[in-house]
Structure 1
Amino acid sequence: MSELRKDITLISGIGQLSTTLLGTGLFMVPAIAAGIAGHFSLWAWLILFVAICPIALTFAQLGKRYPNAGGTAYFVRQAFNKRLEKSVAWLFVSVIPVGVPAAIALAAGFLQQLLPQPINSALVAQIITVGLLVAVNLAGTKSSGRLQTVIALSIFALIASFWWQGSIGTSDMVMPELTQESLWSIGAALGVMFWCFVGIEAFAHMGEEFKNPQRDFPIAILIGCFIAGATYWACSVVILKYHAYGSASFDSASIPWLSEQLFGEKFKLLISGLGFAACFASVNLYTQSLSRMVWAQARDYRPNSALARLSIRGVPANATIAIAVVLLISCVIGEISGLDLEFFLKLANGIFVLVYLLAMLSAFKLLTGAGRWLAAVSLLLCVLVFACLGWSMLYALCVFGLLSLPWQKYSGKKETQIEPN
């Protein structure tokens, strides 16, 4: 078997993208943004959503025209060359040491509250999370899509219950008056908040598995982004009303704290379970996309390697296991380092924004007419967001610079290449 199964429908695609965009972000970023910008974070969410719309539309156009498991790396190859494609592919993989372990740590934090005392430790919870990721990914995209759709519906129900029980009124939704000083805090908040809309580039790796990618892929991206943006804004309104933010440790526990305030102690286990499911869903799509990117690179450049093989379920099983091993190592290092989630988020955001920027640059070259102008606007927005990252963008630039060096020339080796279909 050399082709991925086309199991993703429109509904499951919307479910996968919306849970990926919400996932880990919903349980920490609104509180972190509130800590940075206060009530001005409501403006920041609107600005971010407006900025992400042209980017999402451009990804939708690319995925519609070039559905491939290589995602952004494949777009770059079509627009430029194979050398730059490889740099982008491994730039995406470089998010594993900084971004994915932070997300797994957050998911494991919820899972830890559900584990019995003998195995109740952060590292054990992270190992169990990685094991579950492998199991779900090996089951195939159809099972994964159904699971994430159920999780998405549960998240919406949670936020709706917060509004109902929290007696949210029109006075809580009043936008503060913008000032010159507020623009700086909004810009700083945007540098962290962009994490909430990373996932579109990962979703691009799933285009090859849609039953009808030309019709359903762009619709799934647009509806998924709208749902996620509305949910983040609604969650921020509740967090600001109850002042559920203020410190690094409290920010990641803001949603459980809110549920305890609004519903009492009896809902603690339920929220922990939902929190784990939401975070797990987000990491799950990244595990899928990373494994498919590795598989796509192996298929095109090392067709005889173990990483280029698919299982009987049409899943890149060997690539999935390889990603899981790297995740386990990264989780151990992350646990030992003791660095906070916000630090890792900023480093990961640098990688993601640079990937988005390169995707928009490719779109500007590949698309024509209105699509090309939309790509130009998206490219400019990505540059502005990249500037908002400050020092953390240096990590992405350094990694990309190292990956762009002609290592193949230095090693004196040649590799087998086959042209894509």
Structure 2
Amino acid sequence: MSQLKKEITLLSGIGQLSTTLLGTGLFMVPAIAAGIAGQFSLWAWIVLFVAICPIALTFAQLGKRFPSAGGTAYFVRKAFNSKLEKSVAWLFLSVIPVGVPAAIALAAGFLQQLLPSGLNSSIFAQILTVALLIGVNLAGAKSSGRLQTVIALAIFALIAAFWWQGDFSSNDLILPELTTESILPIGLALGVMFWCFVGIEAFAHMGEEFKNPQRDFPIAIIIGCFVAGATYWVCSVIILKMQAYGTPMFDSGSIPWVANQLFGAEFKTLISIIGFAACFASVNLYTQSLSRMLWAQAREYSPNSSLARLSIRGVPANATLAVGAVVLVSCIIGELSGLDLEFFLKLANGIFVLIYLLAMLAAYKLLTGISRHLAVVSLVLCTAVFICLGWSMLYAVSVFALLNLPWQKWRAVKASNNV
């Protein structure tokens, strides 16, 4: 078996993308953004959503015309060359040490509260989370899609319950008046908030597994982004009114705190279950996309290797196990070193924004007509967000520069000198 199974429907695709975009972000980014920009974070969400629309539409066109498990790396190869494709593939993998440990630590924080005493340590909860990720991924994209659709519905129900119980009204939706002083905090907040819409590039790796990618893939991206954007904005309104921001505790605990204030301590277990499920869903798609990217690279450049094989379920099992092993090691290192969520978010965002930039460059070369003009707008917007990242873009730039050094040429020269 050399082809992935086409099992993803439109509904499961929307569920997968929306839960991935919400996932870990919903439980930390609205509070962090509010701590940076206060009430002006509501404007920042609108700016971000407007900016992400053309980017999402461009990814939708790329995925529709070039469905592949290689995702952005494949788009870049089609537009440019295989050397740049490999650089993008490894750039995507480089998010594991900075992005995945923070996400899994947040998910494990919720799981830890559900484990019995004696087993409720942070490191055990993270190991168990990684084991569950591998298990769900080995079950196939169809099972994963159904699970994430259920999780998406649970998240929407939670936010709706907050709104109803908190007695919110249309007056709470009024935006603050923009001033010249608000531009800087809005820009700084955007540097963190972009995390909430990373996942589109990971979703691009799933295009090959849609039953009807030409029709359903672009619709899933557009609806998934809209649903996630609306949910983030409403959640931010709730956090701002409840003043659940401004301290390190709220950066990862604002949602549980709001639930405790509105429903009491007896709601804690349910919040822990939903919180773990949402964070798990987000990391799950990344585990899927990383394994499929690794499989796609092996299929292209080393077709006889174990990483290029598929299981009887049509899943890149060996690639999934390899990614799971790297994630586990990264989590252990992250736990021993201590995690600062905002710091790791900014480093990971640098990687993702650079990948988006490269995808938009590929789109400009591959697409035609209105889609090409949209790619130009997206390229400008990605550049603006990259600038907003400030110092944290250095990690992405450094990794990408190292990947593009002439390593093969140097090895050839060294080999010829040794002859």
Report the count of equivalent residues.
413
Equivalent in the alignment of 1:154 = 154
Secondary structure of 2:97's counterpart equals: coil
Tell me how far 1:177 sits from its aligned partner.
0.3
Tell me how far 1:169 sits from its aligned partner.
1.0
Query: What is the rounded CA distance, in whole Å, between the counterparts of 1:409 and 1:273 in structure 2?
Result: 52
Q: Is the 8 A contact 1:248 1:340 kept in 2?
A: no
Query: What is the rounded CA distance, in whole Å, between the counterparts of 1:120 and 1:244 in structure 2?
Result: 26
Letter of the 2:243 partner, please give it: H
Does 2:47 correspond to 1:66? no
Identity of aligned residues (%): 79
Tell me how far 1:314 sits from its aligned partner.
0.3
Alignment of 1:14-25 (within 5 A): 14-25=14-25
Deviations along 1:334-387, whole A, 9 cap, x unmatched?
A: 011113111100000000000000000000010011010000000000000000
Equivalent in the alignment of 1:252 = 252
Deviations along 1:18-49, whole A, 9 cap, x unmatched?
A: 00000000000000000000000000000000
Equivalent in the alignment of 2:234 = 234
Does 2:16 correspond to 1:7? no
Query: What is the rounded CA distance, in whole Å, between the counterparts of 1:94 and 1:249 in structure 2?
Result: 28
Tell me how far 1:120 sits from its aligned partner.
1.1
Does 2:274 correspond to 1:274? yes
Equivalent in the alignment of 1:79 = 79
Letter of the 1:81 partner, please give it: N
Q: Is the 8 A contact 2:72 2:88 kept in 1?
A: yes
Letter of the 1:130 partner, please give it: V
Q: Which runs of 5+ in 2 are unaligned?
A: 414-419
Query: What is the rounded CA distance, in whole Å, between the counterparts of 1:403 and 1:125 in structure 2?
Result: 34
Secondary structure of 2:356's counterpart equals: helix
Query: What is the rounded CA distance, in whole Å, between the counterparts of 1:228 and 1:407 in structure 2?
Result: 41
Tell me how far 1:170 sits from its aligned partner.
1.8
TM-score, length-normalised on structure 2? 0.98
Does 2:104 correspond to 1:104? yes
Does 2:235 correspond to 1:215? no
Q: Is the 8 A contact 1:67 1:208 kept in 2?
A: yes
Alignment of 1:8-407 (within 5 A): 8-407=8-407
Q: Is the 8 A contact 1:110 1:276 kept in 2?
A: yes
Query: What is the rounded CA distance, in whole Å, between the counterparts of 2:264 and 2:236 in structure 1?
Result: 20
Letter of the 2:179 partner, please give it: T
Deviations along 1:186-243, whole A, 9 cap, x unmatched?
A: 0000000000000000000000000000000000000000000000000000000000
Letter of the 1:211 partner, please give it: K
Equivalent in the alignment of 2:416 = none
Query: What is the rounded CA distance, in whole Å, between the counterparts of 1:200 and 1:25 in structure 2?
Result: 14
Deviations along 1:157-199, whole A, 9 cap, x unmatched?
A: 0000110001111221110000011010000000000000000
TM-score, length-normalised on structure 1? 0.97
Q: Which aligned segments of 4 or more residues in structure 1 are displaced greater than 4 angstroms?
A: none
Q: Is the 8 A contact 2:133 2:284 kept in 1?
A: yes
Tell me how far 1:405 sits from its aligned partner.
1.2
Query: What is the rounded CA distance, in whole Å, between the counterparts of 1:325 and 1:128 in structure 2?
Result: 13
Tell me how far 1:69 sits from its aligned partner.
0.2
Query: What is the rounded CA distance, in whole Å, between the counterparts of 1:25 and 1:39 in structure 2?
Result: 18
Equivalent in the alignment of 2:417 = none
Secondary structure of 2:149's counterpart equals: helix
- Structure 1 stretch 327-336 or stretch 244-253: which is displaced more? 244-253
Query: What is the rounded CA distance, in whole Å, between the counterparts of 2:289 and 2:251 in structure 1?
Result: 28
Tell me how far 1:407 sits from its aligned partner.
1.7
- Structure 1 stretch 281-290 or stretch 332-341: which is displaced more? 332-341
Q: Is the 8 A contact 2:309 2:316 kept in 1?
A: yes
Q: Is the 8 A contact 2:73 2:85 kept in 1?
A: yes
Tell me how far 1:408 sits from its aligned partner.
2.1
Equivalent in the alignment of 1:416 = none
Q: Is the 8 A contact 2:102 2:339 kept in 1?
A: no
Letter of the 1:355 partner, please give it: I
Query: What is the rounded CA distance, in whole Å, between the counterparts of 1:198 and 1:36 in structure 2?
Result: 20
Query: What is the rounded CA distance, in whole Å, between the counterparts of 1:115 and 1:408 in structure 2?
Result: 49
Tell me how far 1:246 sits from its aligned partner.
1.2
Equivalent in the alignment of 1:417 = none
- Structure 1 stretch 165-174 or stretch 14-23: which is displaced more? 165-174
Equivalent in the alignment of 1:418 = none
Letter of the 2:187 partner, please give it: G
Secondary structure of 2:4's counterpart equals: coil
Secondary structure of 2:118's counterpart equals: helix
Query: What is the rounded CA distance, in whole Å, between the counterparts of 1:247 and 1:123 in structure 2?
Result: 24
Deviations along 1:32-85, whole A, 9 cap, x unmatched?
A: 000000000000000000000000000000000000000000000000000000
Query: What is the rounded CA distance, in whole Å, between the counterparts of 1:88 and 1:290 in structure 2?
Result: 12
Query: What is the rounded CA distance, in whole Å, between the counterparts of 1:3 and 1:247 in structure 2?
Result: 49
